[in-house]
């Protein structure tokens, strides 16, 4: 089954940083828009950020703008989400998802539009 794999989560103090990675072992991410989503306990899964297939288009939800940075390395078939200035309310399981979208290389942070998902990586922000 074609699947994404997230890594890089962990426990960090408020104000700290983490870098999440999303990769796929059995398909190439080049023609996919990639989204990052998160789900906190007892809450709905929400969008965080997305990046278009070329990397030129990047979007963020307001709550993470200026703190999170999405990027992609198509040569290494990996998408990253850099989390800086972390807050306790960022605590959640973070998921990456892929949407077939070679052209135009745009992206949207809409959960229902993504076709393939990873299993998630836990991010806990606590002192």
User: Residue 1 pLDDT more than 80?
Assistant: no
CB neighbourhood size of 87 (10 A): 13
Dihedral over alpha carbons 25, 121, 15, 74 (to 10 degrees): 20
Q: Provide the pLDDT confidence category of residue 4 given band limits of 50, 70 and 90.
A: very high
Asked if pLDDT for residue 2 goes beyond 80, the answer is no
Q: Please state the rounded mean pLDDT for residues 74-97.
A: 97
| Closest by CA position to 20, among listed 32, 28, 12 | 12
Say yes or no to pLDDT of 52 above 70: yes
Across the range 94-109, mean pLDDT stands at: 92
pLDDT band at 25 (very low <50, low <70, confident <90, very high): confident
């Amino acid at each position: 089954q074609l699947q994404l794999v997230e890594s890089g989560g962990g426990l960090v103090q408020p104000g700290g940083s983490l870098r999440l990675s999303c990769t796929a072992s059995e398909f190439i991410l080049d023609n996919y828009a990639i989204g990052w989503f998160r789900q906190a306990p007892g809450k709905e899964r929400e969008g965080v950020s997305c990046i278009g297939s070329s990397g030129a288009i990047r979007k963020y939800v307001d709550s993470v703008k200026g703190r999170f940075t999405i990027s992609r390395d198509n040569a290494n078939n990996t998408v990253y989400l850099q989390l800086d200035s972390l807050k306790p309310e960022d605590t959640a399981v973070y998921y990456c998802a892929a949407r077939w979208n070679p052209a135009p290389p745009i992206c949207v942070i809409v959960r229902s539009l993504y076709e393939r998902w990873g299993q998630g990586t836990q991010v806990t922000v606590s002192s």
